[in-house]
């Protein structure tokens, strides 16, 4: 592996980065944990740690807790080494540091409150919009057959609104990911497709969430793979829901077939499977978070973690409820609530826990490049 030499380091910008620097110096002398995950080999390739290096290592960490469980220098030892919690603090700060545009970076500070307000406002606006732009009676009437949803909101208005917010989310995420990448990857040559492919495989199977093969130390000394399974359910559930929306868009524009579709149609099958994943995964992760050993937790960002999982859960719950009750008078209100939640999810995606997946993937790409 390439050794990365640096001869000077600027003072760190936060207390968490300063503490992470101290821990990396201790760990670089000890090296007991080098087989546990990618963080330690990446750390060993460095002698000094700039902010960008620490943000990179923090996002490479999957928070499995194994290095805390194994560490002979953890509290009450005077070195007070707690790598998982310190890297969680640095990682959470990094989302705010790279946010685009800068004016919205403050949303990370009180993320739970910010996302709750955006979601509540968004749902209220959809309900009011349905009433204002249509006959109020349409909200509580039963509608059936192709085009039933568009009796409450025209398809073009829906496509335009969600197209704009989705595009904004993509631009904001790409801009912040670009700033992160520039900070962590400058000066590393090559890697190309091979590094990208390796990172895809490592991310797809959550290779470093296994605590060095024993499992995640979420609740004390007994490691399990539960967090990994819940992450998989969430990720693949989200991807299936995206696939469902994409197929429905093709149905609409290429085949001229309007939603809602029959239960055996591909968009419904994909959406139902994805929806189940987005119920099971976020619920399991919320439970795991609740039970997590407090010593591993960055308690200042608890609201951010919970808000994102609740938004995913609510997106799925309202979507599945809409599927089951779409032929009843409850359809209008359920559609307003579902669209409101999805709109808020897209709008807040660049300013919430969603970005952890992007940053962690980029950190894995960088790690694969360094290995290369
Ligand atoms: S976490 Fe503890 S045991 Fe592991 S490398 Fe660092 S100092 Fe050593
Ligand atoms: S918590 Fe797990 S992933 Fe993070 S540094 Fe420790 S062993 Fe590696």
CA of 62 to the centre of ligand 2 (A): 6
Whether 62 and 206 share a structural domain: no
- Give the three-class secondary structure for 188: coil
Place of tokens 């005077």: 78
The one-character DSSP state at 46 is B
Q: What angle do CA 148, 152, 155 make, to 5 degrees?
A: 75
> What is the predicted pLDDT for the residue at 9?
66
Whether 331 and 271 share a structural domain: yes
- Residue where a domain terminates, one of 97, 123, 144: 97
Q: What's the CA gap between 362 and 365, in Å, rounded? A: 5
CA-nearest of 301, 368, 362, 371 to 52 is 362
Q: Residue 164 is encoded by which pair of tokens? A: 């704009």
61 pocket-lining for ligand 2 (C-beta < 6 Å): yes
Cis peptide before 20 (omega within 30 of 0): no
Instruction: State which ligand 2 atom lies nearest to the alpha carbon of 212.
Output: 7
CA-nearest of 22, 6, 18, 62 to 38 is 62
CA of 9 to the centre of ligand 2 (A): 24
Whether 171 and 317 share a structural domain: yes
139 and 218 in contact (C-beta within 8 Å)?
no
247 and 267 in contact (C-beta within 8 Å)?
yes
> What is the predicted pLDDT for the residue at 2?
44
Prediction pTM value: 0.92
CA-nearest of 157, 140, 97, 91 to 301 is 91
Instruction: State which ligand 1 atom lies nearest to the alpha carbon of 83.
Output: 1
37 pocket-lining for ligand 2 (C-beta < 6 Å): yes
Place of tokens 């959550």: 206
Q: Domain range holding 350?
A: 102-371
Number of domains in the chain: 2
Q: How many CB atoms lie within 10 A of CB 213?
A: 9
Q: How many CB atoms lie within 10 A of CB 291?
A: 11
| Ligand at shortest distance from the CA of 75 | 1
239 within domain boundaries: yes
- Residue where a domain terminates, one of 97, 127, 146: 97
Whether 80 and 118 share a structural domain: no
> What is the predicted pLDDT for the residue at 1?
44
Q: What's the CA gap between 23 and 19, in Å, rounded? A: 6
CA-nearest of 284, 201, 270 to 241 is 270
2 within domain boundaries: no
> What is the predicted pLDDT for the residue at 8?
58
334 within domain boundaries: yes
Q: Which of 71, 78, 82 to mutate to test the pocket of ligand 1 (most atoms within 8 A of CB)?
A: 71
CA of 10 to the centre of ligand 2 (A): 25
Whether 137 and 73 share a structural domain: no
Which phi and psi (to 5°) does residue 4 adopt? -100, 110
Whether 23 and 117 share a structural domain: no
CA of 290 to the centre of ligand 1 (A): 26
62 and 209 in contact (C-beta within 8 Å)?
yes
Instruction: State which ligand 2 atom lies nearest to the alpha carbon of 63.
Output: 1
Give the pLDDT of the chain (372 residues) as one tens digit per residue: 444 444 456 789 999 999 999 999 999 999 999 999 999 999 999 999 999 999 999 999 999 999 999 999 999 999 999 999 999 999 999 999 999 999 999 999 889 999 999 999 999 999 999 988 877 787 888 888 888 899 899 999 999 999 999 999 999 999 999 999 999 997 777 778 999 999 999 999 999 998 888 899 998 788 999 999 999 999 999 999 999 999 999 999 999 999 999 999 999 999 999 999 999 999 999 999 999 999 999 999 999 999 999 999 999 999 999 999 999 999 999 999 999 999 999 999 999 999 999 999 999 999 999 988
The one-character DSSP state at 37 is -
> What is the predicted pLDDT for the residue at 358?
97
2 and 187 in contact (C-beta within 8 Å)?
no
Q: What's the CA gap between 268 and 257, in Å, rounded? A: 13
CA of 61 to the centre of ligand 1 (A): 14
Instruction: State which ligand 2 atom lies nearest to the alpha carbon of 36.
Output: 7
231 and 209 in contact (C-beta within 8 Å)?
yes
- Residue where a domain terminates, one of 58, 79, 97: 97
319 pocket-lining for ligand 2 (C-beta < 6 Å): no
CA of 85 to the centre of ligand 1 (A): 13
Whether 62 and 204 share a structural domain: no
Q: Residue 95 is encoded by which pair of tokens? A: 């989302």
Whether 143 and 28 share a structural domain: no
43 pocket-lining for ligand 2 (C-beta < 6 Å): no
Instruction: State which ligand 2 atom lies nearest to the alpha carbon of 68.
Output: 6
CA of 74 to the centre of ligand 1 (A): 8
Instruction: State which ligand 2 atom lies nearest to the alpha carbon of 70.
Output: 7
Q: What's the CA gap between 291 and 183, in Å, rounded? A: 34
Contacts of 357 (CB under 8 A, 6+ apart): 203, 235
Whether 220 and 201 share a structural domain: yes
Instruction: State which ligand 1 atom lies nearest to the alpha carbon of 34.
Output: 5
Whether 112 and 196 share a structural domain: yes
92 within domain boundaries: yes
Q: What's the CA gap between 226 and 285, in Å, rounded? A: 9
Q: Which of 84, 90, 216 to mutate to test the pocket of ligand 2 (most atoms within 8 A of CB)?
A: 84
Whether 88 and 236 share a structural domain: no
């Amino acid at each position: 592996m390439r050794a990365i030499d640096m001869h000077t380091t600027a003072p760190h910008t936060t207390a968490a980065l300063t503490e992470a620097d101290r821990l990396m110096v201790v760990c670089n002398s000890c090296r007991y944990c080098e087989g546990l995950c990618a963080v330690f080999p990446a750390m060993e390739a460095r002698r000094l740690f700039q902010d960008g290096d620490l943000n990179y290592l923090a996002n490479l960490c999957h928070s499995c807790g194994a290095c805390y469980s194994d560490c002979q220098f953890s509290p009450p030892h005077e070195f007070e080494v707690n790598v998982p919690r310190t890297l969680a603090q640095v990682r959470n700060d990094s989302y705010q540091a790279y946010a685009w545009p800068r004016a919205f970076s403050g949303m990370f500070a009180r993320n739970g409150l910010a996302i709750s307000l955006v979601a509540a406002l968004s749902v209220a606006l959809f309900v009011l919009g349905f009433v204002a732009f249509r006959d109020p009676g349409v909200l509580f009437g039963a509608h059936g057959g192709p085009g039933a949803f568009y009796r409450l909101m025209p398809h073009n208005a829906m496509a335009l609104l969600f197209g704009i917010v989705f595009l904004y989310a993509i631009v904001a995420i790409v801009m912040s990911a670009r700033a992160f990448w520039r900070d962590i990857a400058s000066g590393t040559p090559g890697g190309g497709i091979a590094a990208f492919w390796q990172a895809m495989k490592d991310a797809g199977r959550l290779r470093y969430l296994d605590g060095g093969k024993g499992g995640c130390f979420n609740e004390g000394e007994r490691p399990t793979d539960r967090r990994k399974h819940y992450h998989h359910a969430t990720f693949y559930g989200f991807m299936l829901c995206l696939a469902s929306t994409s197929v429905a868009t093709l149905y609409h524009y290429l085949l001229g077939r309007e939603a809602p579709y029959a239960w055996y149609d591909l968009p419904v099958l994909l959406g139902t499977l994805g929806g189940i994943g987005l119920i099971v995964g976020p619920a399991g992760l919320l439970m795991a978070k609740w039970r997590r050993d407090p010593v591993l937790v960055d308690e200042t960002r608890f609201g951010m973690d919970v808000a994102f999982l609740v938004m995913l859960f609510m997106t799925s719950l309202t979507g599945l409820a809409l599927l089951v009750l779409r032929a009843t008078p409850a359809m209008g209100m359920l559609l307003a609530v579902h669209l409101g939640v999805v709109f808020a999810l897209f709008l807040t995606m660049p300013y919430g826990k969603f970005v952890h997946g992007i940053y962690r993937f980029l950190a894995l790409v960088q790690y694969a490049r360094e290995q290369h």
